[in-house]
Amino acid sequence: MKTPYNHPLPLCRSEMEARGWDQCDVILVTGDAYVDHPSFGAPLIGRWLESHGYRVGLIAAPDPNDVEAFRVLGPPRLFWGVTAGNLDSQLARLTVMRKRRRDDPYLPEGQGDLRPPNATIVYVTKVRQAFKSQISNLKSQIPVIIGGIEASLRRFPYYDYWTDSVKRSILFDSKADLLVYGMGETAIAEVARRLDHQEPLSGIPGTAEIRSLKLEIPNLKSFEDVSTNKDAFALMTREILLNAASDKPVTLIQPHGDRLLVVHPPAPPLAPALLDELYSLPFTRRPHPVYGKAKIAAYDMIKDSITTHRGCYGSCAFCAIATHQGKTIVSRSRDNILAEIRTLASTPDFHGTVSDLGGPTANMYGTRCKRQGAHCQRPSCLAPEICPTLETDAGPQLDLLRAARKLPRVNHVFVTSGIRFDLALAQEPRGVIEELAQHHVCGRLKIAPEHIAENVLRLMGKPTATAYRQFVRRFKEASAQAGKPQQIVEYFISGHPGCTLADMIELALYLKRENIQAEQVQDFYPAPLTLAAAMFHTGKDPMTGKPVYVARTDNEKAMQRALLLFHDPKFHRKAREALRAAGREDLIGRGAKCLVPEEKGDGRG
Ligand code: SF4
């Protein structure tokens, strides 16, 4: 590994020339602003390639209508890497109710218009357009490789919420040469090495490619089948998810017309020592100076946060982390994390608070499967019950937290990443909950029970309502003992597959009883390649084949949401409509048990 430069990757020719380069080896195009921080995907991959000796340039948030924006660094020697950025480009623009979002947190001053919808496809088209004449004079075209969350979750045919249809793999629609999925470091380094040695790109773990129909025997139903037959789509989803969860994954091969989509098994996760190396690269941890004082909201949110590990074995049905990052937890070493905190603490604008020390699920740090290598296809190590083979010891996380808060210039270390509370309850006798309450919560602990109705929780793959209540009780007791009156802020989802109006009423009554005003309400979004998206599209649970109720219309989704927000007069009218539709007029009125007042009560009708 070569020592990279400790100043940002070049964004323009003068920055290339300052390094003495006349050409980049690799140019990455991303939908995000360039923040040289390991939480931003394209800079992370750029720094990684740089550490392998490649000259990497970056085109950040280009104007999709200006082809010159793609010519700014000239063509690369080896390949273009294209990503929509840290966000799904459709979800970055629209809410689930299809309302336009005002701000994009990954862009300077939130410029909501800059990231185009289907950004991966748009950027590949623009790159090809920008270098058409040069490319046609070359013996072979400079390859375009797509990656990042948008491409990764669309590597197979996927349910597209915005058009209510099943689309083919994004590899076909983008016309890219190869798709790198998952976290990507191992695969992209191998891509660079092979292109540098003029070797073919075929067969790299963690990639998807297109091949001729004659060459392979398919093991997934064709795109034509899964796009027209919901049972075939459900079966495909089941096979993909079980393969992704397996420790012996196979190559999945699927006909698309007269060609084959070939998705190779995931690249093995980076070993802990390599993860340490990755996070030790000389990120400046700041936005590129070109943005001046412009505010980049996502940067403000993560600038004082530290990632402790990758992966999640919770496998909640609506979440794509397991199919993107993988189920295996890879934890950075304690010393490496503490070294990063020391570096952060030495920067002039650090004010003494590490805003988050965590990962996808904070209390999975240092936990592992005791039987690694044994055949296992369970998507979740926690649901429906905690696997006896899971090593749940919280010791590594507690040791890390205790060491971190003793570091010089560090006054507070908060944990604001998710906490999986069934796991926290099982992490006895090490007392994760007590440690958090005493030292690592800044007044409000955010947790995500998501629902209270057991049938919905089961479909979501979330802990039971009993576990949630136990966790809340323990946290409140621990906070009281610590002399800290701390609040719990709960996240809930409305409109998840399996959730009826009756289930939402059960949740609303719980909130009323417990005097909770839901602040964090998320409308369900069927993210590609998730179990819940397949339930939403097919009306079945792909794992059991059983029918699942789906709130499909915008009106029913709005009614479910209104039931969660029944305390807010703005939602009374819709909540009344929901209660009447569910035959629960008894909950409308002034009585103590009622959820909303009669029409006259709120003055809005
Ligand atoms: S802990 Fe259990 S469910 Fe998780 S990978 Fe190991 S054997 Fe499979």
Alpha-carbon distance of 330 to 272, in angstroms, equals: 6
Question: Tell me, what's the pLDDT at 322?
Answer: 87
398: its two tokens: 């507690």
Give 544's contacts (C-beta < 8 A, 6+ positions apart).
Answer: none
CA distance 59 to 79: 13
**Quick check: CB of 313 below 6 Å from ligand 1?**
yes
Q: What is the distance between the alpha carbons of residues 457 and 463, in angstroms, rounded to a whole number?
A: 7
Q: State in Å: Cα 281 to ligand 1 middle.
A: 32
- How far is ligand 1, taken at its centre, from the CA of residue 393, in Å? 15
For the chain, 605 residues long, the average pLDDT of each consecutive 10-residue run is 70 96 98 97 98 98 96 97 95 90 93 91 96 57 95 98 97 97 97 97 97 85 98 98 91 95 96 97 95 96 96 94 91 98 93 96 95 80 92 95 97 95 86 93 92 97 94 94 92 97 97 87 94 98 97 95 94 96 95 88 44
Using an 8 Å Cβ cutoff, are 510 and 595 in contact? no
- Centre of ligand 1 from the C-alpha of residue 207, in Å: 25
- Spatial distance between the Cα atoms of 484 and 479, rounded to a whole number of angstroms: 5
The three-state secondary structure class of 60 is: strand
Q: How remote is the CA of residue 389 from the centroid of ligand 1, in Å?
A: 6
The answer to pTM > 0.75 is: yes
**Token digits of residue 136:** 């046609």
Return the CA Rg of the chain. 25
**Probe residue for ligand 1, chosen from 241, 242, 389 as the CB with the greatest number of ligand atoms within 8 Å:** 389
Domains of the chain with bracketed CATH:
13-209 (3.40.50.280), 443-605 (3.30.750.200)
Closest residue by CA, ligand 1 atom 3: 381
Question: Pairing relation of β-strands 305-307 and 356-358?
Answer: parallel
Q: What is the pLDDT of residue 4?
A: 52
Answer yes or no: is the C-beta of 390 below 6 A from any ligand 1 atom. yes
Ligand 1: which of 327, 377, 390, 393 to mutate, judged by most atoms within 8 Å of the beta carbon?
A: 390
Residue at 358: amino acid letter: G
Tell me how far the alpha carbon of residue 458 lies from the centroid of ligand 1, in angstroms. 19
- For 496-522, b/e burial (b = at least 16 CB within 10 A) is bbbbbbebbbbbbbbbbeeebebeeeb
CA distance 159 to 141: 31
For a substitution probing ligand 1, which of 242, 247, 248, 313 has the most ligand atoms within 8 Å of its CB?
A: 313
Cα–Cα distance, 230 to 232 (Å, whole number):
5
Ligand 1 lined by 386 (C-beta under 6 Å): no
**Would the CB of 465 count as within 6 Å of ligand 1?**
no
Question: What pLDDT, on the 0 to 100 scale, is given for residue 605?
Answer: 37
Which residues, listed in sequence order, are joined to residue 357 by a DSSP beta bridge?
Answer: 306
Rounded CA-CA distance 326/511 in Å is 34
By the 8 A CB rule, do 70 and 59 touch?
yes
- Rounded to an integer, what distance in angstroms lies between the CA atom of residue 562 and that of residue 548? 22
557 ligand 1 Cβ < 6 A: no
In the three-class reduction of DSSP (H, G, I as helix; E, B as strand; rest coil), residue 457 is classed as helix
Give the per-residue pLDDT at 493.
Answer: 96
pLDDT score at 139: 43
Residue-level pLDDT at 518: 84
Instruction: Give the count of beta carbons closer than 10 Å to the beta carbon of residue 89.
Output: 24
Cβ proximity of 362 and 419 under 8 Å: yes
Tell me what pLDDT residue 526 has: 97
